[in-house]
Amino acid sequence: MRLLSGGANALLSVEWGTVIWTTIAFIVVLILLKKMAWAPILKALKDREESIQKSLNEAENARQDMANLNADNERLLKKAREERDAMLKEAREMGEQMVSEAKAKAKEEADKLVENAREAIENEKSAAMSELKNQVAGLSIDIAEKVVRAKLSDDSEQGKLVEELVKDIKLT
């Protein structure tokens, strides 16, 4: 009631009883908040902080794992490239070796064919020469026979021929 009768000064006047009860109520509320609210709030904040720290640690670990995986991938790619290059080099060398072996074999076979052809030509030539000699000998005999017949048709010629042949024969 004082509030109504006293006006503006009544709001500014201090009642010590109200101050004490307000202080007691504040302290009780503060103690209740400390026992019931502050501990769960601080625990929730601490849990949240630990969760954030754990997430940061996991993110750092994941980043490190990704860096390791990238390094491993690069190493594997480098190794694969080196193996590919080695295989290509080996294939090229094998191809060159096969080509050179094929060339050598072809040259060897060509030389063998040429040698066989030369031998065949030489054999044919020898056979032709032998046949030619035989034909020339046969013709010579035929001609000699005809000449001798013609010369020896009379007896005086036969005597001269016999004497010449006898002179040519030397007895040793």
**Count of structural domains within the chain:** 1
For the chain, residues with pLDDT lower than 70 are: 1-11, 150-153, 155, 170-172
Cα 135 to Cα 69: distance, rounded to the nearest angstrom: 96
Range of the domain at 77: 2-168
pLDDT in tens, 107-134: 999 999 999 999 999 999 999 988 888 8
Cα 18 to Cα 33: distance, rounded to the nearest angstrom: 22
* Amino acid at site 124: E
